[in-house]
């Protein structure tokens, strides 16, 4: 049967909770690393550098109070539950503020259309929740079992906490509120996944039975906290499911339009790109003059059952002139 020793519980408390005689030292370490991670992540997003963003993930300590929240619920430790939750909320606010302030210092808007780091974090899907649940389980398992603690740096990279918050600040400053909401949803997805997976793992290992007398949290309050976590994950999953459904639908539509457009453009022209925009599907084609008939493309789309799809066509004629030498 799964269980932990008293030494394991002491190690987990020391790693995750901000109390005891070392409280001041732990807090100073947390805030120092969090601010530095925020600066690194902001620089990585602005410069569109994946390596720099990964560096910020490794340094960021935000996962500690999230797992501390889980441990506090399992051990029915009310003071540390409140303390950990406040650190998560305050830490998230600080990271967002750092991104927002740096956005003011940068002359160009940092948005998904011009930055791949932003684009990767503003449209979360259900698969992000699945990955976060698995990653959160690994993180909790690594804390319960000290023989697998070497996996924690990999967990820090796999589950993104600070970069989405930086993106929230940068996109808010750039006036892209919808993208900021998308990045915030990704952060909340990862937080909810860590809480849920951590509760499952620590419950399976019966961490609460090793905790001794509870400090302020009744069994009923513990159950309420567990229900809140489960409900939070469900609420987060709803917009993720809607986003996933929309993304799949758009992908199918783009594929269908691409197939029809390629048949229409050949043999003299070629389709260079097919993208989804707010106005519909944008098709770009290039080739030699004369240009193919746009009305013929519309007719082909209608014949293929795509009557309801709005398509904007951009034709880029290539005018080649031979200039032979004497």
Q: In what order do the strands lie in the sheet with 311-318?
A: 270-277, 280-288, 311-318
274, pLDDT greater than 90 = yes
- Name 34's bridge partners: none
Helix (H) or strand (E) holding 270: strand 270-277
Length of the chain: 326
Among all chains, which residue has been given the structure tokens 């940092």?
A: 110
Q: How far apart are CA 228 and CA 230, in angstroms?
A: 6
C-alpha separations of 214 from 11, 26, 81, 83 in Å: 18, 23, 12, 16
pLDDT of residue 151: 67
Q: How far apart are CA 6 and CA 10, in angstroms?
A: 6
Q: How far apart are CA 161 and CA 296, in angstroms?
A: 49
Q: How far apart are CA 110 and CA 57, in angstroms?
A: 20
pLDDT in tens, 215-233: 788 899 999 999 999 999 9
What is the CATH number that goes with domain 249-318?
3.30.70
- Tell me the pairing of strands 311-318 and 280-288: parallel
Which residues contact residue 65 at a Cβ distance below 8 angstroms, ignoring those fewer than 6 apart? 16, 18, 30, 83, 84, 85, 87, 88, 91
Q: What is the pTM of this model?
A: 0.87
Helix (H) or strand (E) holding 312: strand 311-318
DSSP 211-248: S-S-BB--HHHHHHHHHHHHHHHHHHHHHHHHHHHHHH
Confidence of residue 172 (pLDDT cuts 50, 70, 90): very high
C-alpha separations of 76 from 3, 4, 210 in Å: 18, 17, 11
pLDDT in tens, 12-52: 999 999 998 889 999 999 999 999 999 999 999 999 999 99
As a dihedral over the C-alpha atoms of residue 123, residue 129, residue 134, residue 139, rounded to 10 degrees, the angle is: 80
211, pLDDT greater than 90 = no
Structural domain boundaries of the chain?
6-217, 249-318
Minimum mean pLDDT among 157-166, 169-178, 196-205, 307-316: which range? 157-166
Considering only the C-alpha atoms of the chain, give the largest distance between any 2 of them, rounded to a whole number of Å.
99
- Using alpha carbons, select from 318, 313, 286 the residue that is nearest to residue 300: 313
pLDDT of residue 210: 74
154, pLDDT greater than 80 = no
pLDDT in tens, 101-153: 999 988 889 999 899 999 999 999 999 999 999 999 998 888 888 777 666 66
Q: Tell me the average pLDDT across 148-160.
A: 72
């Amino acid at each position: 049967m799964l269980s932990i020793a008293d030494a394991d519980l002491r190690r987990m408390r020391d790693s995750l909770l901000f109390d005891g005689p070392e409280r001041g030292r732990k807090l100073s370490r947390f805030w120092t690393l969090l601010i530095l991670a925020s600066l690194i992540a902001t620089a990585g997003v602005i410069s569109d550098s994946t390596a720099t963003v990964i560096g910020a993930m490794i340094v960021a300590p935000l996962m500690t109070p999230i797992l501390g929240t889980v441990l506090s619920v399992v051990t029915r430790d009310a003071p540390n539950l409140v303390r950990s939750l406040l650190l998560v909320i305050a830490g998230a606010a600080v990271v967002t503020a750092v991104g927002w302030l740096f956005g003011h210092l940068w002359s160009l808007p940092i948005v998904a259309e011009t930055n791949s780091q932003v684009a990767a974090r503003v449209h979360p899907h259900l698969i992000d929740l699945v990955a976060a649940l698995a990653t959160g389980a690994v993180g909790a398992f690594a804390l319960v079992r000290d023989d697998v603690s070497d996996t924690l740096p990999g967990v820090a990279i796999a589950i993104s906490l600070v970069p989405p918050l930086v993106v929230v600040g940068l996109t808010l400053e750039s006036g892209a509120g919808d993208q900021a909401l998308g990045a915030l949803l990704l952060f909340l997805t990862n937080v909810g996944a860590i809480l849920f997976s951590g509760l499952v793992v620590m419950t399976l290992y019966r961490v609460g039975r090793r905790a001794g007398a509870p400090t302020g949290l009744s069994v009923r309050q513990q159950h309420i906290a567990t229900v809140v976590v489960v409900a939070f994950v469900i609420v987060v999953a709803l917009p993720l499911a809607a986003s996933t459904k929309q993304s799949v639908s758009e992908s199918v539509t783009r594929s269908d339009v691409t197939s029809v457009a390629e048949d229409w453009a050949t043999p003299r022209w070629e389709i260079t790109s097919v993208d989804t925009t707010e106005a519909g599907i944008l098709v770009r084609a290039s080739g030699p003059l004369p240009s193919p008939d746009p009305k013929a493309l519309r007719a082909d789309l209608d014949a293929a059952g795509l009557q309801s799809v709005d398509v904007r066509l951009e034709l880029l004629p290539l005018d080649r002139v031979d200039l032979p030498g004497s």
